[in-house]
A and B are shown apart, each in its own frame.
Chain A
Amino acid sequence: MGAAPQQVSPDQRVADFRKIFSRAESEVARVIVGHREVVRKLLTALFCGGHILIEGVPGLGKTLMVKAASETLGLSFKRIQFTPDLMPSDIIGTQVLTESDGLREFQFKPGPIFAHMVLGDEINRATPKTQSAVLEAMEEHQVTVFGTTYVLDPPYIVLATQNPIELEGTYPLPEAQMDRFIFKVVMGSPKPDELREILNRTTGTAQNKIQPLFEPASAPQAIEELKALVREVMVAEPLERYIISVIGGCTPGGPGAIPEVSQYLRFGPSPRGAQALILCSKVNALLAGRVSVSYDDIDDAIVPCLRHRLLLNFQAEAESVSSESILEQVIKRLKKPRT
């Protein structure tokens, strides 16, 4: 499955991508009931080379889902439970004094951030200092300890979770740091049927084993090749202009901004938002069996890619206007360029 794709035809590469993606979805679905959209976005973020912020109340299976995804893809997985007293060195790693052959020396002991898939549970409970350490690693894909830089092995994805309740004593992520996540997905409570299925699976004797798609040794390279395939998907100029107009339309005072944007937003999305839109649209196109992006692919990506990049003002919060509703208005009102 993870064979070198250089020899295979482009058609085959596209077909393989779709196959791997759908198999990964179904493997994760063995242990996670429902939340298919969240799983899809998790895998999309992985193939886009981005990170994902998951928001949901405790007990929904966030950790289990990430663990299942890493197991499916044959990637290493680490989990960090963020607490207020967590220090950056606890995450990144530190120098420890070791003795070998009568010589004492400092040796770097990597922290939990050194893994392919890192789950940062309740990231908003850590202090800004610790959050910054993680976010720097997310962006640079490297960490520097005592002047030495350590590169994080690709593929690298951080899945941070946030608890929307019990906000006392937390440190909400600043907007600049929220911008580094390609998606923000919201996990809702399971439906009654799904809950019944969860109970059946978890309280009985049956065990659902996940079958890995890749061997741990070849998995990183296979994933990297699929990530390269995503970037090969083509985007026509009119569609690029559409993405630009979406970003402009969501920016207060920007070109083509709708009245709701000017009324309810303080800031709009950054260029990172446009990058996220294009990458996510490309994955959507590949999943549809196409090698070029369509307007529908872009529209599907707008809400998960931009919802956490819009900074609502006080009026919006007072009137309970959500960023999702504003984005839907933008999608409705923007015209698709024809040339």
Chain B
Amino acid sequence: MRVMLCAVAPALTAIALGLLLEPIGDLTWARYGYSLAPDRAALLSLALVGAGLVVLAAGLVIAFRAYRRANDFVAAAAELDDLLECNQEIVTFATLANPSALESGRARRTPLFPVLWRRAIALFGGLDVRREFRLEVGAPLRRSSIFAGVVALAMLFATLGLVRAPTPESREAARLRAIAQEIAKTATSSDDTALAGKIRAAADALENSRLPPEEKKKRIEDAMKQADKAAEKRNNSQSGKDQGTGKSSAQSGNGSGKSQGQGNSSGTGSGEGKSGTGAGQNAGGNNPGSGKGGTGNNSGKNNGGNGTAKNDKNDQNKSDPSNIKLQNELAKAEAQVETANAKNPGPDNQPGDDKNQGGANKPGDKPDQKSGSQPDPNRPGDLPKPGANGDRNIPAAGGNPKNNKDMGSNLGDTHLGEMPTSTNAQRFLKPGEKGSTVDIKDARYVMFRLPGAPIAGSGGKTVLDTDRPKATTAYVNAPLAPTSDDAPPDERQLVPPRYRDMIH
């Protein structure tokens, strides 16, 4: 029991801290702008809960063993013996009077057993079980609170070690989660719930560094599509209401406005927004974003706002501020993915992997074509359109040539569009030759091929080493001449008298 009391507080503290780590992380995020790295926080949480469970399990095992020991006749006698300091008299008595081994105990008894019996009874007479075996809760709890404090301190230090300034992705993910939470809170249909789920999935994907960028983008786009779908449904039901009441005159009209989008890019994209002429639908004459300038790849074509339904939809979507916000955040998230992808090219994007598709610009590309500003995701008009070519509006760096094969030439710089061309120079020089100077100015990579090691074996030749140092003194490997035993000793000592007879 005392063991359990000692174990329970630190174990429960560890488990509680482990379970509350996520809310604590949210709190630090909300209050101080710092967050716990999600994977490490999960690991720490798991470790804390695991440690708590292990301590609890260990306490249970010890308690069970103590219970079993208390049930063991001889072990209980040993406990009593220690308590009363009886010099193992009670243990001996218990051994000889053990009910589970009565026969063997009887066989071991001697005529002195009655004396032992009387002494044991006398010792038991002085035993107050309630006093001696009182359950003391205070001391174990005090001890356990110290352990609990140690656990909490350890957790605090671990948390401090794990706290990181949030990355742009995690900030974005947090904002998306907040929106998802809001949507889920005010959800009126299953679409809203699904939308909240999609947004959460997109947020998780955004924070997950192990996911490839394509997957992240896919999830974000899924969320965008779901947002469109939900908004469309909402609007359909709303327009139905308006038509029914005839109050839609203010919003109706022939929309014939031209939409001249002017993107942030310096491209010359200009588009004609064919706004809707649909019945009573709100025409998108004032849709500043529908005709965004295309990227260099778009060759000035305007892909935006070409369709009644789309413009209508976009206009209606924008009438809903929460939807605008959501779209904004999703677009930002997508931009973050792109930026991160550009900054951290994956292992398959290493220059050596695909030599023909490296990040270097190729002659003929227009490097300054995209040097203009990038679309500002915070501006509603700059929103990339889901389903349209919004993704192409986001500049992609040349870090992922596989994905952007046709865009790789837009990026980076070249030296006046010239690249060194290889000549038919001799690849390997003979010993002593120096060869012509290789002009590697402005080259990004220079490849060398080292000659292989010569094959040993057949063509060896023995060369005498005439330069080695030689001995100046003649020598011979003949044995030394034997020394004469008759040589007089260097000194003489007197033999002690007692040994004189022994030495002849």
List chain B residues, Cβ under 8 A from A14: 112, 115
Provide the bound-state CA to CA distance between A338 and B75, in Å: 6
CB of A234 within 8 A of CB of B75, answer: no
Q: Is the beta-carbon distance between B74 and A339 smaller than 8 angstroms?
A: yes
Known: A339-B74, A339-B78. A11 touches B115 (CB 8 A): yes
Question: Is B92 close to A, CB under 8 A?
Answer: yes
Residue of A nearest to B114 (CB): A10
| A290 contacts B by Cβ under 8 Å | yes
Known A-B contacts A232-B110, A232-B111, A339-B78; the reply to A291 vs B91 at CB < 8 A is no
| CB proximity of B318 to chain A, nearest CB, Å | 81
Contact of B92 with A10 in the complex, beta carbons under 8 Å: no
Given contact pairs A234-B108, A235-B92, A294 touches B116 in the complex (Cβ within 8 A): no
Query: Complex formed: what's the CA distance from A290 to B110 in Å?
Result: 14
Identify B109's interface contact among A234, A288, A295, CB under 8 A: A234
Residues 91-118 of B at the A interface (beta carbon under 8 Å): 91-96, 108-116
CB under 8 Å from chain A, chain B span 111-139: 111-116, 119
A234 touches B74 (CB 8 A): no
Asked if B87 lies at the interface with its beta carbon under 8 angstroms from chain A, I say yes
Measured in the bound complex, the distance between the Cα atoms of B114 and A234 in whole Å is 11
Asked if B344 lies at the interface with its beta carbon under 8 angstroms from chain A, I say: no
- A233 is an interface residue with CB less than 8 A from chain B: yes
Q: Are B88 and A236 touching (Cβ within 8 A)?
A: yes
Docked Cα-Cα span, A239 to B74, in Å, equals 12
By a CB distance below 8 angstroms, the chain A residues around B115 are 10-11, 14, 291
Q: Which residues of A contact B91 (CB under 8 A)?
A: 236, 238-239
Whether A339 lies near B116 (C-beta < 8 A) is no
Contacts of A13 in B (CB 8 A): 112
Separation of A232 and B72 alpha carbons in the complex (Å): 27
A294: contacting residue among B88, B93, B111, CB under 8 A: B88
How near does chain A come to B221, taking the closest CB pair, in angstroms?
69
Closest to B89 in A: A292
Most buried by A among B75, B88, B111, B116: B88
Cβ of A237 under 8 Å from chain B:
yes
Whose C-beta in chain A lies nearest to the C-beta of B96? A234
**Contacts A338-B78, A339-B74; A10 near B112 (Cβ below 8 A):** yes
- With A237-B95, A288-B87, A296-B87 already in contact, the answer to whether A232 and B112 are too (CB < 8 A) is yes
The reply to whether A239 and B88 contact each other, CB–CB distance below 8 Å, is: yes
B232 to chain A, nearest CB (A): 78
A293 located at the interface, meaning its Cβ lies under 8 Å from any Cβ of chain B in the complex: yes
A292 and B72 within 8 A (CB):
no
Cα A288 to Cα B114 in complex, Å, equals: 17
Contact of B110 among A234, A293, A294 (CB under 8 A): A234
Please, how many angstroms separate the alpha-carbon atoms of A232 and B113 in the complex? 9
* Alpha-carbon distance between A101 and B372 when the two chains are bound, in angstroms: 151
- Kindly list chain A residues whose C-beta atoms are within 8 Å of the C-beta of B89: 290, 292, 294
Which positions 49-88 of chain B face chain A at CB distance < 8 Å?
69, 72, 74-75, 78, 87-88
CB < 8 Å neighbour of A295 from B74, B88, B93:
B88
Chain B residue nearest to A285 (CB atoms) is: B87
Q: Which of A10, A232, A239, A339 has the most CB of B within 10 A?
A: A339
Q: How far is the CB of B30 from the nearest CB of chain A, in Å? A: 56
From A10, A236, A288, A290, give the contact of B111 (CB < 8 A).
A10
A295–B114 alpha-carbon span in the complex (Å): 21
* With contact pairs A238-B74, A238-B78, A339-B72 given, residues A292 and B111 touching in the complex (Cβ less than 8 Å): no
Chain B residue numbers with a CB within 8 Å of A233 are 110, 112
User: Chain B: interface secondary structure?
Assistant: helix
Residues of A within 8 A of B112 (CB): 10, 13-14, 229, 232-234, 291
In the complex, how many angstroms separate the beta carbon of A282 from the nearest chain B beta carbon? Answer: 10
Q: What distance in Å separates the Cβ of B123 from its nearest Cβ neighbour in chain A?
A: 11
Complex Cα gap A237–B113 (Å): 15
Q: Is the CB of B75 within 8 A of A292?
A: no
State whether A234 touches B88 (Cβ < 8 A).
no
Instruction: Determine whether the beta carbon of A236 is less than 8 Å from that of B116.
Output: no
Q: Assess whether B108 is in contact with A292, with CB atoms less than 8 Å apart.
A: no
A13 and B114 CA atoms in complex are apart in Å by 13
Docked Cα-Cα span, A296 to B86, in Å, equals: 11
Report the separation of the CA atoms of residues A293 and B110 in the bound assembly, to the nearest whole angstrom. Answer: 13
State A294–B87 Cα separation when bound (angstroms): 5
Cβ of B148 to closest chain A Cβ, rounded Å: 31
Residues of B within 8 A of A236 (CB): 74, 88, 91-92, 94-96
Closest to B76 in A: A339
CA distance A233 to B113 in the complex (A): 9
Contact with B along A226-249 (1 / 0, CB 8 A): 000100111111110000000000
**Closest CB of chain A to B300's CB: distance in Å?**
88
Output the nearest chain A residue to B117 by Cβ-Cβ distance: A291
User: How far is it, in angstroms, between the C-alpha of A286 and the C-alpha of B492 when the chains are bound?
Assistant: 72
A288 to B75, CA, bound (A): 24
What 1/0 mask marks residues of chain A from 271 to 294 whose CB sits below 8 Å from any chain B CB?
A: 000000000000000001011111
Q: Nearest CB to that of A295 among chain B residues?
A: B88
A290 to B87, CA, bound (A): 9
Enumerate chain A residues within 8 angstroms of B114, measured Cβ to Cβ.
Answer: 10
| Nearest CB of B to A212, in Å | 28
**Chain A proximity mask over B293-323: 1 for CB below 8 Å, otherwise 0:** 0000000000000000000000000000000
Give CA–CA (A338, B93) in the complex, Å: 14
The interface centre, meaning the residue of B74, B95, B96, B114 with most chain A CB atoms within 10 A of its CB, is B95
Chain A contacts with B in 199-255, Cβ cutoff 8 A: 229, 232-239
Contact B95 A238 (CB under 8 A): yes
Name the residue in B69, B94, B115 with the highest tally of chain A Cβ atoms < 10 Å from its Cβ.
B115
> Which chain B residues border A297 with CB–CB below 8 Å?
87
Q: Which of A11-47 contact B (CB under 8 A)?
A: 11, 13-14
Instruction: Return the chain A residue nearest B91 by Cβ.
Output: A236
Contact for B92 among A232, A234, A338, CB less than 8 A: A234
Q: Which of A239, A291, A295 contacts B116 (CB 8 A)?
A: A291
B112, closest chain A residue (CB): A291
Per the bound structure, the CA–CA distance linking A284 and B95 in Å amounts to 20
A15 → B minimal CB distance (Å): 10
One digit per residue, 1 when the CB lies within 8 angstroms of any chain A CB and 0 when it does not, for chain B 262-293 equals 00000000000000000000000000000000
Could you tell me the distance between the alpha carbons of A239 and B95 in the complex, rounded to whole angstroms? 11
* A336, chain B: closest CB distance, angstroms: 9
The answer to whether B87 touches A339 (Cβ under 8 A) is: no
Is there contact, CB below 8 Å, between B74 and A292?
Answer: no
CA distance A115 to B114 in the complex (A): 37
A339 CB to nearest chain B CB (Å): 4
- Chain B residues within 8 Å of A234, by CB: 92, 96, 108-110, 112-113, 116
0 or 1 for each of A292-321: is its CB under 8 Å from B? (1 = yes): 111111000000000000000000000000
List the interface of chain B (C-beta within 8 A of A): 69, 72, 74-75, 78, 87-89, 91-96, 108-116, 119
**15 residue pairs A–B, Cβ–Cβ below 8 Å:** A13-B112, A232-B110, A234-B113, A236-B88, A237-B74, A237-B95, A238-B95, A239-B91, A239-B92, A290-B119, A291-B115, A292-B87, A294-B89, A295-B88, A296-B87
Residues in chain A within 8 A of chain B (CB atoms): 10-11, 13-14, 229, 232-239, 288, 290-297, 338-339
> 10 shortest A-B CB distances, which residue pairs?
A294-B87, A292-B92, A236-B92, A232-B110, A291-B112, A236-B95, A339-B75, A294-B88, A338-B78, A291-B115
User: A237-B95, A292-B92 are known contacts; what are 4 more A-B pairs with Cβ within 8 Å?
Assistant: A14-B115, A232-B112, A295-B87, A339-B69
